[in-house]
């Protein structure tokens, strides 16, 4: 089933991310994309059930792996055209191609998986490995951005769930917060396509999403403990 009925919810989340990165100078598009990609990666962890992101003994920023995460990301496919429509890769693919760009603008999923695996222990805390040129690299910390956007993700998802229960939105098998976030991410890439080439935006989006999907998120308890120590 097409995910277009969920576009208003995705736009609502997208606009929260836009406000998050906006300052007196405007919006840096790469950071806009990064914030939503970080939220999408975190949402993939939640949907996988590999860990409870708010209640665990793991260190935020540490690596986390699991086949269940790969299933949420791409149905464990390494070809983006084979990714299920309610996977992260499939939802983002269908949101941007062909309306925003062609399939050839989407990065190789196999390369994204390899990039994440090869970067374990090699990137600064809270960041993820990206291959976009230096001028397009994020200036926001993905781990922090995902944490900051989490309340909005949860709130918008709750509203969607209410609409589904009321019969005003369709029930879609495989729906979870990762689909909402991927749709919001695709919407942002479309919105900003005149400022940032979609191929570059998609490379950044996939790399940040996959990297954050393999990173232990910041829990509220860990954030509070860190704040108490400062």
Span 171-211, pLDDT tens digits: 999 999 999 999 999 999 999 999 999 999 999 999 999 99
Task: pLDDT band for 230, please (50, 70, 90 cuts).
Answer: low
Distance CA 30, CA 200 (A): 9
pLDDT above 90 (res 117): yes
pLDDT above 70 (res 18): yes
Q: What is the CA radius of gyration of the chain?
A: 16
Q: What is the pLDDT of residue 1?
A: 47
- Domain segments of the chain as ranges: 4-228
How large a percentage of the chain has pLDDT more than 70?
99
Distance CA 65, CA 215 (A): 8
- Three-point CA angle 75, 80, 82, nearest 5°: 55
Q: Are 176 and 43 in contact (CB under 8 A)?
A: yes
Q: Are 183 and 3 in contact (CB under 8 A)?
A: yes
Q: Is the dihedral of CA 101, 16, 147, 177 positive or negative?
A: negative
For residue 164, give Cα distances in angstroms to 5, 154, 171, 177: 11, 15, 6, 14
Span 47-87, pLDDT tens digits: 999 999 999 999 999 999 999 999 999 998 999 999 999 99
Three-state secondary structure call for residue 23: strand
Task: pLDDT band for 134, please (50, 70, 90 cuts).
Answer: very high
Contacts of 111 (CB under 8 A, 6+ apart): none
Q: Is the dihedral of CA 189, 25, 124, 219 positive or negative?
A: negative
Distance CA 116, CA 215 (A): 10
Distance CA 147, CA 153 (A): 10
Helix ranges, the chain (H): 7-21, 29-48, 67-74, 88-96, 109-118, 142-165, 177-191, 198-213, 220-228
Mean pLDDT across 204-220: 97
Span 2-12, pLDDT tens digits: 789 999 999 99
Q: What is the pLDDT of residue 220?
A: 93
Mean pLDDT across 102-128: 95
pLDDT above 90 (res 162): yes
State pTM to two decimals: 0.96
Mean pLDDT across 157-183: 96
Position of tokens 């998802």? 157
pLDDT averaged over every residue in the chain: 96
Q: What is the pLDDT of residue 16?
A: 99
């Amino acid at each position: 089933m097409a995910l277009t009925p969920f576009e208003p919810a995705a736009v609502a989340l997208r606009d929260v991310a836009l406000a998050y990165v906006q300052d007196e100078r405007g919006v840096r598009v790469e950071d806009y994309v990064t914030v939503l990609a970080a939220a999408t990666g975190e949402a993939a962890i939640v949907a996988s059930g590999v860990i409870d992101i708010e209640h665990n003994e793991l260190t935020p920023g540490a690596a986390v792996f699991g086949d269940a995460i790969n299933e949420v990301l791409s149905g464990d496919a390494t070809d983006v055209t084979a990714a299920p429509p309610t996977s992260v890769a499939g939802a983002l693919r269908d949101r941007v191609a062909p309306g925003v760009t062609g399939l050839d603008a989407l990065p190789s999923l196999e390369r994204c998986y390899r990039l994440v695996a090869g970067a374990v222990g090699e990137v600064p805390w809270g960041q993820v490995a990206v291959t976009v040129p230096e001028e397009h690299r994020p200036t926001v910390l993905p781990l922090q951005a995902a944490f900051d956007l989490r309340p909005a993700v949860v709130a918008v998802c709750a509203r969607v769930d209410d609409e589904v229960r009321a019969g005003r939105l369709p029930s879609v098998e495989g729906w979870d917060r990762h689909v909402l976030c991927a749709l919001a991410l695709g919407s942002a890439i479309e919105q900003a396509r005149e400022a940032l080439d979609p191929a570059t935006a998609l490379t950044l989006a996939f790399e940040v999403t996959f990297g954050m999907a393999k990173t232990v998120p910041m829990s509220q308890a860990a954030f509070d403990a860190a704040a108490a120590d400062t």
